[in-house]
Amino acid sequence: MTDKPAILITGASSGIGATYADRFARRGHDLVLVARDGARMEAMAARLRQDTGVAIDVLPADLTKPDELSVVEARLRDDPAIGVLVNNAGASLGGGFVQQSTEAIAQLVALNTTAPVRLASAVAPRFARAGSGAIINIGSVVGLAPELGMSVYGATKAFVLFLSQGLSVELGPRGVYVQAVLPSATRTEIWERAGADVNALPAVMEVGELVDAALVGFDRREAVTIPPLHDATQWEAFQAARQAMLPGFAQSHAAARYR
């Protein structure tokens, strides 16, 4: 046990989640690892315990199954040592919307949206009472780009971004930091699981570089971190344009162009 907050990471068995586990362990944080593949997490935990000396609990769970999700929720509600939630677990789907089965879409929505909002809901009241804590939500630049043709996946990641920004407005004044991380294409197993060839993509970021950049944003307390975006003023202009519309939404009558 360290004097630093423990970190609960979902999707921790590989890719971005496993890299977050490595980086936070090397910063001296105890970990709670959550994913379906318990054996894989145990092997990683054994290595990290030996390398870093931190305490690591392994909590196997399929977050699309309500009974297993509820176990993780209870851990977040009841364990005061956990001070950071990393909502990383996620998946994608191959093919276009008309080729994707309704069942597969429902599973994707359950993992990419229902699980992170329920886990955030489980831990946020405790964080707010304590006046401290952090929630890191892994989104995607696809959530800003319907032109990419990943309609359901992009919609789930747009949800993650909006949720993060909304929670930042609500919880920030109460001492809780919320960060949305928006990766672009990153070399993880998500591509293979969706039936895609990551090597066919024009540009792919290595997972270590992605997480290290995201942690720079975390340390700076950025509300939204977009590691692949070189020109930060583009995001600032996007935000400014969106916010400039807000006063125009409170109207008693439709705009003249609709009459």
The amino acid occupying position 125 is: P
For residues 187 and 206, is the Cβ–Cβ distance under 8 A?
Answer: yes
Q: Per the structure block, which two tokens stand in for 165?
A: 């920004």
Question: Is 153 known to be catalytic?
Answer: yes
Question: Of the listed 20, 153, 177, 258, which one is catalytic?
Answer: 153
Q: How far is CA 116 from CA 11, 50, 138, 157, 195, in A?
A: 11, 30, 9, 11, 24
User: For the chain, where are the alpha helices, taking DSSP H only?
Assistant: 15-26, 38-52, 66-78, 102-109, 115-130, 151-171, 190-193, 207-220, 232-249
Token match 């997972």: residue?
207
- In order, the DSSP letters of 132-147 are --EEEEE--GGGG-GG
CA atoms within 13 Å, Cβ hemisphere of 42:
5
Which residues on neighbouring strands pair with residue 135, listed in sequence order?
85, 178
For residues 241 and 248, is the Cβ–Cβ distance under 8 A?
Answer: no
Q: What is the DSSP letter of 81?
A: T
Q: Which residues does the annotation mark as catalytic?
A: 153
